[in-house]
């Protein structure tokens, strides 16, 4: 296994060509007030696998692909509820 960072998040946009926007959420306990704080960050990732909105994906750090794209979709962990039918139709056409 290499030393590249891997993050898991949800695809929130797939409108670009071969690029998806992935929202990675994390929760941590505030050091002083001990309240659980939830934050999120958006990453643009290169997508050759055909991820769609709502899919949970694993992204891996890579060399800079463009000005804002430094991540690649490594695997689709879980498909969104409504996307199974669309994926089955696309595979049948190919």
Please name the residues in contact with 26: beta carbons below 8 A apart, sequence gap of 6 or more: 38, 39, 40
Query: What is the C-alpha separation between 67 and 21, in angstroms, rounded?
Result: 14
Q: What is the CATH number of the domain that holds 47?
A: 2.40.50.140
Within a domain: 41: yes
pTM of the model: 0.83
Q: Provide the number of structural domains found in the chain.
A: 1
State the 10-residue block means of pLDDT for the chain, 94 residues long. Answer: 92 97 98 97 97 97 97 96 68 63
Residue 1, domain member (yes or no): no
Q: The domain containing residue 21 runs over which residues? A: 6-93
81: Cβ–Cβ under 8 A, 6 or more apart, which residues?
A: 54
Give the C-alpha separation, 33 to 35, whole Å: 5
């Amino acid at each position: 296994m290499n030393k590249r960072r891997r993050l898991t998040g949800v695809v929130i946009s797939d409108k670009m060509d071969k690029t998806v926007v992935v929202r990675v959420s994390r929760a941590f306990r505030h050091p002083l007030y001990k309240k659980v704080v939830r934050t999120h960050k958006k990453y643009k990732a290169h997508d050759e696998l055909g991820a769609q909105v709502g899919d949970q994906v694993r992204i891996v750090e890579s060399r800079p692909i463009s000005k804002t794209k430094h991540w690649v979709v490594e695997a689709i962990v879980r498909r969104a509820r409504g996307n199974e039918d669309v994926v089955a139709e696309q595979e049948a056409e190919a």
